[in-house]
Structures are given as C-alpha cells and as structure tokens.
Amino acid sequence: MRTFVRDDNVLERLGIDLSPPAALTHYFNFRHGHLIVKNEAERFGLGSFKALGGYYAAAHLLEARRNGPAGNAAGSAEISEGIPNCTSLSLVTASAGNHGIGVAAAASLLDATALVFLPRTTPQNFVHRLRQLGAEVRVLDGDYDDAVEQARSFARTEGHTYLPDTSEKTDDHTVHLVMEGYSRMADEMEREFQASSRWPNEIFLQAGVGTFAAALTQQIRVRWSHQPRIYIVEPDKAACLAHAAGDRVRKPDQAEASIMQRLDCKVPSAVAVERLRELDVSYVQVSDEEALGARSRLKTLGLRTSPSGAAGMAAHLKQPLDDAAERISLIILTERDEESAQAVSKGNES
C-alpha cells in the first residue's frame, strides 16, 4: 500500500507553527455511543483544516521553483512543467471557500500572489476573507466544477501555477502534495490515541471531491496500529465518490444544490477515486435536513460548525443503535460555522 513521505521541514523553515489547534479533548457519551470530536475550526486561525494542504503544497512548489529540477525530490519536473523558471509564484485555484483561503494565506506568507475562482453560491464572507488575505477573486456564474475548469484553463493559458485540491489525472503531483499536507492530521490523532490508549472503532470522514477523505484514509490504513471502520460521508445530492465506486446511488445532478456547500461537488477527484478503491471504506449519504439536525446537536454540545462540518455527525447519528455501547466514533469538524466566520470578518474591519 502506498504511503505518504511528508517533509514538513520546508514549512518549519518558514516559521509556520504546525501544532494542532486543539487536543482531542471533546469526548461525549450518549445513546448513539461514545463520540470523539476532532475540531479543525481554528486551524491556523483560518476557520478550517484546508491550509494544511495549501501551505504545504505552496511551500514545496516555491522551493522546487527556486532550486530548479536538479537536486529536488521526485516530482520537481512535474511541478515545473510548462511554467516559467522564476523564483516567485503566482498561484491560481478554484474553491468553494476553504481551499481558496488556504492558498491565499500561503501566498501572503510566501510573498506570492493568489487568484481564486469561486462558484456563485460561495457565501460573501468567504469572498471578503479571501480579499483580506490579498487574493484576487473571481466569482463565476456557475458551480464548483465550472470554477475548477475555469481556474485550470486560466492557469495553463496565462502561465501561472495551478494549485488545485482535485484533478482529472490520477498521478497529479500537486494534488498529491495537498494530500501529504492533509495527512498530518491523521498523524496528530494517532499520537494522541497512542497516549490515551483510547482508539476509535469507526471514523466518519466527509467528502466533496474526496481529497481530504482519501488522504486521511490512506494514512490511517498505513500507519495506525488499531484499524477502524471508515465511512466516507457525502451529501445525498452529490454522492460523486460513492457513484464512482460503483455503489448503487444516483448520479449527482448538476441542477441540485446542497446546503453542505463545501461538499457539494458533482465530479470527484480522480486521485481520490483511485486511492479509495485500494482501501477498505464504506460510503454513506446524508440529507440537508440530517446535516442541519447534526449541526444543532453539536451546538448543544458546545461545538459550532456549518452543515458541511457537521456531515460526519449526521452520518454517525444515522447508524443503528444495536451496538451503541461498544461504539467509539470519531468525527471531524472540518470548518467553523459561517455565522462565526462572518462575525470575525466584520470584526477585522473595525
């Protein structure tokens, strides 16, 4: 089985604090079983886990650019292919919000520029926060997949560096770098579970294009001494990974929109599809109503997140109660709620 060989040294040389935002201190017991919550809402102060991939990939892209193909790790040639040989970066990406913020934050840290293409459904607070980070923003009259196509085409035509978290190619090196960055989260959790000797026996990982879910699943399957059941959670209106895996779910309809906006992706990343085929996972779909209910349930536990961030909780709550006493479930709050993000954004203006 393939494994990630992550090199965090380049980030540490840039002074990036890689410590997790909080320990796994959120433990709850209720009728659905024992629950462990990994809260990523304040990673790097940016509101989600996404900068783990954005920072990591951008830093490695810049290092490869400055050093040139000679003397770099495998993949340097792929990184530099078709891009002018210079020491600065002009990053282009598509996003439903969080990946763009991660790329924009990396660009500001690395003295690079960032251009982010967004679908029309992106909340205004994401647009505002991207501009606060110095990114140029283009909101398209289309969905997320349209934004991906526009960003990819623009980067290739204009000679910029394309930094996606999804790809139509299974061997996309830049997406692999993003996944390497995400894999750090699995290692953080592994260290804490080893210290506490309290391991989950099931994990719910929400998925849009699937890059995050595939990265964590791969690292867990390779590294963890205790192997849990892993569920890949998607909106029932955008179950693109389950459909690609051959599950008997309906093909995502481009005309349908989910309130789980960061997960509302109709076309999966080919990298994620390939990796997940090699791994032992199950797929589960949740409705908008279930995501809203899970969000409310988390709020009563003192945890605030969006419907996208609550998708894992929604899937957890759908499981049968027969074996609740033996269940130790792990969910990940992948982002803070839009209301909190909006409040922070307005506060920064004053």
Which pLDDT band, with edges at 50, 70 and 90, does 339 fall under? Answer: low
Instruction: Give the single-character DSSP code of 324.
Output: G
Give the integer Cα–Cα distance in Å for 216 and 220. Answer: 6
pLDDT above 70: percentage of residues in the chain: 89
Give the integer Cα–Cα distance in Å for 91 and 115. Answer: 6
Span 40-59, pLDDT tens digits = 988 888 999 999 999 999 99
What's the pTM value of the predicted model, to 2 decimals?
Answer: 0.89
Residues 232-261 have a mean pLDDT of 95
**In the CATH scheme, what architecture does the domain 9-49+175-346 have?**
3-Layer(aba) Sandwich (3.40)
Query: What's residue 70's pLDDT?
Result: 41
The residue type found at 269 is: S
Joined together, the tokens standing for residue 2 give 């393939």
Q: Which of 17-26, 69-78, 331-340 has the lowest mean pLDDT?
A: 69-78
Span 86-109, pLDDT tens digits = 456 899 999 988 999 999 999 998
Domain map (residue ranges) of the chain:
9-49+175-346, 51-172
CATH of domain 51-172: 3.40.50.1100
pLDDT above 90: percentage of residues in the chain: 72
Query: What's residue 185's pLDDT?
Result: 95
Say whether 51-172 and 9-49+175-346 share the same fold: yes
Provide CB contacts within 8 A for 314, sequence distance 6+: 233, 286, 287, 290, 291, 293, 294
143 within 8 A of 122, measured Cβ to Cβ: no
pLDDT at 310 over 80: yes
User: What DSSP letter does each residue of 13-81 carry, written as one string?
Assistant: HTT---S-SS-S-EEEEETTEEEEEEE-TTGGGTTBTTHHHHHHHHHHHHHHHHH-STTSPTTHHHHHT
